[in-house]
Chain A
């Protein structure tokens, strides 16, 4: 399999690139249409951070340290609500749980017998929706022993670009017209709703998504403190029930 040539991305120097060459290949892979969309959502995130009264160094630091967008949005919400550090950590941890299965899905492609755990952990820091989708799509052109380095090139470039984007928005866009700020704030949910639908692995993912979107407003009325957790457990449980139901019926039919 590793020798079958990929149809869409021609790599003329397959296997003959140096380690640094594969790192740079990862950097180049980061410069892409999904990266442009991601950068625009970070303009939206910066607008959100500004409207929440965050300072530029905190917003940029958050971008580098958390990286995944929902976690940052939840953290800003918790800071704004005056939550203590532990309850904020709890809320962020809940929204970041989804990163575990993404990393798990990526590991079999990156891990070789010689992989070191700390290097894999470093690479895993760059896992978020966009980097993950790009990696799943393009990683097969990279020789297995270079994939971790390649992914670090890809992920670090995406993080760096967006840390710069966040800082630039602070310096350039202090007084955006309301229509533009509102439009930027809508970018994040629009990007999430489309990319999340596209990245669902099974039908249960779509059920979970619809359930989560519809449940949140109801749950929020009853349990404002735990609205995200309760939405996740209820919506996810529903979707998993659907998954079991379909599987049992499928087995009965065959």
Chain B
């Protein structure tokens, strides 16, 4: 059943509840359940964290390489360059998130204004 499968006001909310809330909070509740039982530096959690981190990294990659909306109109090289510049300055200038965001945005905007 797709998002607009039913022509009712409530179906999209049910869709979001099942595909969004249930799919997300199940993991949080599982964390509450396991929280008293697993040590946070246990070996299995290293693997779980690594898979989870790679997944979010995949999301980052997809947002830069295959974005939607007006960002999709920009050149791929500009987006990758902006993200790389932002990340590099985050690493180089004391791991400040604001610095990384500012430099990345500056490169993107400069690139868009010059083209």
A residues at B contact (CB < 8 Å): 33-34, 37, 40, 47-48, 50-52, 58, 61-62, 65-68, 70-75, 78-80, 82-86, 88-90, 92-108, 111, 117, 120-121, 124-125, 127, 178-179, 181-183, 185-198, 200-202, 204-205, 207-217, 219-220, 227-229, 231-240, 243
Which of A72, A121, A212 contacts B28 (CB under 8 A)?
A: A121
Name the distance in Å between A11's Cβ and chain B's nearest Cβ: 25
Which of B28, B54, B63, B73 contacts A232 (CB under 8 A)?
A: B54
Grouping DSSP codes into helix (H, G, I), strand (E, B) and loop, the B interface class, with mixed when no group exceeds half, is: helix
Q: B residues within 8 A CB of A83? A: 2
Q: B residues within 8 A CB of A66? A: 16, 20-21, 24
* Nearest 5 interchain pairs by C-beta: A107-B35, A103-B31, A212-B57, A98-B52, A235-B54
Question: Assuming the A-B contacts A94-B55, A190-B83, are A104 and B31 also in contact, with contact meaning beta carbons closer than 8 angstroms in the complex?
Answer: yes
Question: Assuming the A-B contacts A70-B59, A71-B20, are A100 and B50 also in contact, with contact meaning beta carbons closer than 8 angstroms in the complex?
Answer: no
Q: B residues within 8 A CB of A85? A: 1-3, 15, 18-19
Name the distance in Å between B32's Cβ and chain A's nearest Cβ: 5
Q: B residues within 8 A CB of A88? A: 3, 15, 19, 23
Across the interface, do A185 and B69 meet the contact criterion of CB distance under 8 Å? yes
Name the distance in Å between B16's Cβ and chain A's nearest Cβ: 5
Question: Assuming the A-B contacts A48-B68, A124-B32, A211-B57, are A187 and B46 also in contact, with contact meaning beta carbons closer than 8 angstroms in the complex?
Answer: no
Across the interface, do B97 and A239 meet the contact criterion of CB distance under 8 Å? no
Across the interface, do B101 and A190 meet the contact criterion of CB distance under 8 Å? yes
Within 8 A of A (CB), among B28-65: 28-32, 34-36, 38, 40, 45-65
A201 to B54, CA, bound (A): 14
Across the interface, do B47 and A236 meet the contact criterion of CB distance under 8 Å? yes
Q: B residues within 8 A CB of A239? A: 50, 53-54
Within 8 A of A (CB), among B76-115: 79, 82-83, 86-87, 90-91, 95, 97-98, 100-101, 104-105, 108-109, 112-113
A202 to B43, CA, bound (A): 12
B residues at A contact (CB < 8 Å): 1-3, 12-13, 15-32, 34-36, 38, 40, 45-71, 73-74, 79, 82-83, 86-87, 90-91, 95, 97-98, 100-101, 104-105, 108-109, 112-113
8 pairs from A and B in contact (CB 8 Å cutoff): A33-B98, A71-B23, A100-B34, A108-B35, A186-B79, A192-B56, A194-B90, A236-B54
Name the distance in Å between B50's Cβ and chain A's nearest Cβ: 4
Across the interface, do B71 and A186 meet the contact criterion of CB distance under 8 Å? yes
Across the interface, do B57 and A78 meet the contact criterion of CB distance under 8 Å? no
Name the distance in Å between A100's Cβ and chain B's nearest Cβ: 4
Across the interface, do B49 and A235 meet the contact criterion of CB distance under 8 Å? no
Name the distance in Å between B44's Cβ and chain A's nearest Cβ: 10
Question: Assuming the A-B contacts A196-B60, A212-B53, are A48 and B17 also in contact, with contact meaning beta carbons closer than 8 angstroms in the complex?
Answer: no
Across the interface, do A231 and B57 meet the contact criterion of CB distance under 8 Å? yes
Name the distance in Å between A125's Cβ and chain B's nearest Cβ: 6
A13 to B7, CA, bound (A): 55
A246 to B61, CA, bound (A): 27
Which of B17, B29, B36, B51 contacts A208 (CB under 8 A)?
A: B51
Q: B residues within 8 A CB of A102? A: 31
A134 to B91, CA, bound (A): 21
Q: A residues within 8 A CB of B71? A: 181-182, 185-186
